[in-house]
Structure 1
C-alpha cells in the first residue's frame, strides 16, 4: 500500500514538472479579412490525441468572441484568414487550425451551445513543447479531484484550479465544485484528472447571484468523442 502511494506521488510530481515545462493550454488568436474582428485572445485551447489523431480544441461559444457580424451558425465563413492556437510563453510557438471538424451551417450560434466543443484538425507538425492530452476512458467518481487550466484575460500565465466532481448536469455537462473566481478567457481550456487524462473542456461558469456560489459546468468528452468518430 505504501509503495502504491509513493508511486502515485512520484507520478503526480512528474506530471506537474512536465506540465510546467510544456504548454498544456494555449490561447486562440483569430484573424479576419476585416481587421476590426481580429481577436488575439478569443479563448483558451489545447491539443488532444485520440485514436492516433491529433485535434486542437476550444469551446464552441468562443465563436461569440471570434466572429464577424455575418457569422450566425457554427461555421467560420469566408472572412476568416487564420485561427491559431498560440503559446503565451513563446508566441513563436503556435498551431494553425485545420478543418473545423464539427462545422454545421444549420446549427445556430446560441447560448448555451449544443455540445460546447469546437474541434479542429491539425495539418502541420506539432511544435515541440506543446502537451498532447489523452482522453480518459474510465468513469468519473463523485468527489474525485479534477483540475482545469486556462488563460484569464490579461494574464501572461495560465491558472490551474482544483475542484471536486459532483456529478453530471441534466444536459450531460460535468459539475465541479471550484473556488469562486473570475475565469473569463479560460473558456476552451482543458479539464483533467489527477493523472493528467482529459475529462472535459471549460464551458459554462458563473457566480449564482442568489447563493453567491460558483457554478462551474465543463463540457464532458462525450460530444468530442461522438464528433471525431463521424
Structure 2
C-alpha cells in the first residue's frame, strides 16, 4: 500500500476509534481522592536476568527504567518503556524479541522485594522491529507490554485513558530515578499532545535518569501515557519531558495488525511536492496536515525532519526552497539555534548578507556557545 493509501486507511480507522473523541467526564479513581501521602504503590523498578548469565549492557546498571501495572478490565498487565531494551538486552539481541533468552524479569518498588511483579512473556514482541541504530523507530511506540505470572496486590494497577490530553491538564509522574533512594511522584502540566507524543512541563531540578517507563497519570487517576525522557518546549526551548500516549497501548491490547508501523517521513512526503508543484504548495500541504490531529499518528512532524529536507535542498542548489523549509521549521520549533545557523548559511550562499547576519545573531542568542554561528557572523562582519 502506498503512503496515500496508508493515510486514508489510518484516518478511517482513527475516526472509528474511541481515542478520537475528547475526554468525557470520568469519575476519579478512589485512590487519587486520598491525600498524596496515602496513595498506593504504583511505580517499580525493572530487574532483568537472561539465560546465558547476561543482564545489562553495562555493569553500572543495578536496574533499568521504571515500570508499572495496568488494568485492562479483563487482565492485569505490566508495562515499561520499550527503549529499556537498549540497556536490558543480550549482546545478540537485535530486535524487540527475547527469542527464548529471557530467564526472569522482575518489577518491584525500590527497596521492597516483597511487593513484586513477576513477568511471564512479552505481548508485543516483534522480531522485525529493529531495536537500535538509524533504522530503529521504537521510541515512536515506546511501550513494552507483558503478561504476568504474579503481581502483588499491594501494587495499584492503572486504568488507561484513550482520549487525547488537553494542554494545561495537570499530570503526575510516578518515577523511580536512579539518583533517588525511593520512587517519587513528580507533577506537571501537559504542554502539547499530538499523535503518539506528549510534551509535559518539567522542573529542571527533577532527576529523571532512570524514570523512562514511568506512568503519566491525569488528575482523575487514569493513565495518559508513558514517560520517555527529557525534551524541550517546542515554542520556548525550555526544559520539558516527553512521553508516548496510550494510542499504541490500545493497539497492543486490541491485537491490531500490523502493529509496529513506522511513521511516514514528512520530509520524504514534501520532496516530490516541491519538485512537481512548487515550494508554496508544499508548505500549504504541511500546514494543512499539521493542523489535523490524526496526521500526527501518521507522519513525523519534527525539526530534524524539516531541517534534513532543507539541507538536501541546499545540496541540490535549491536555495529559495531551502529557506522556506527552514522558516517553516522555525515557525513550529522556534527555539532551534541550529536551524537559525543553517538558515544563516543559506542566506549567505544567496548573497543576502543582512538576513544571514540576523539569522546568525538569533542563533547565538539562543545558544551563546554556538562557535560556528559566531565564526560565521565574524566572517560576515569582516567582509
Residues 47-86 of structure 1 aligned to structure 2 (within 5 Å): 47-86=69-108
State how far apart, in whole Å, the 1-side matches of 2:67 and 2:87 are.
Answer: 14
Provide the rounded CA distance (Å) in 2 between the counterparts of 1:98 and 1:12.
Answer: 29
Pair 1:25 & 2:43 matched: yes
Unaligned runs of 5+ in 2: 1-27, 256-383
Counterpart residue number, 1:88:
110
Q: Which residue of 2 aligns with 1:4?
A: none
State the alpha-carbon separation in 2 of the partners of residues 97 and 152 from structure 1: 21
CA distance in 2, matches of 1:159, 1:144: 20
Q: TM-score, normalised by structure 1?
A: 0.85
Equivalent pair of 1:102/1:118 in contact (CA under 8 Å): yes
Structure 1 residue 198, shift from structure 2 partner: 0.5
Judging by fraction of residues, say which structure has more helix. Answer: 2
Q: How many residues align?
A: 217
Q: Secondary structure at the match of 2:34?
A: helix
Structure 1 spans left out of the alignment, 5+ residues: 1-7
Write out aligned runs for 1:1-230 (5 A): 12-14=32-34, 16-19=36-39, 22-38=40-56, 40-110=62-132, 112-113=137-138, 114-124=140-150, 126-169=151-194, 172-180=196-204, 181-206=206-231, 213-230=238-255
1:82-112 deviation digits (Å, cap 9, x = unpaired): 1111122421221111120100000101355
CA-atom RMSD in angstroms:
2.4
Distance change >3 Å, CA 158–CA 11, structure 1 → 2: closer
Larger radius of gyration: 2
Structure 1 residue runs of 4+, over 3 Å off? 10-13
Cα distance 1:137–1:206, how it changes in 2: closer, same or farther (>3 A)? Answer: closer
Paired position in structure 1 for 2:311 = none
Q: 2: CA distance between counterparts of 1:102 and 1:184? A: 25
Q: CA deviation at 1:206?
A: 4.1
CA contact (8 A) 2:175 2:185 kept: yes
Structure 1 residues 53 and 182: CA distance shift in structure 2, 3 A: same
1:35 is paired with a residue whose SS is coil
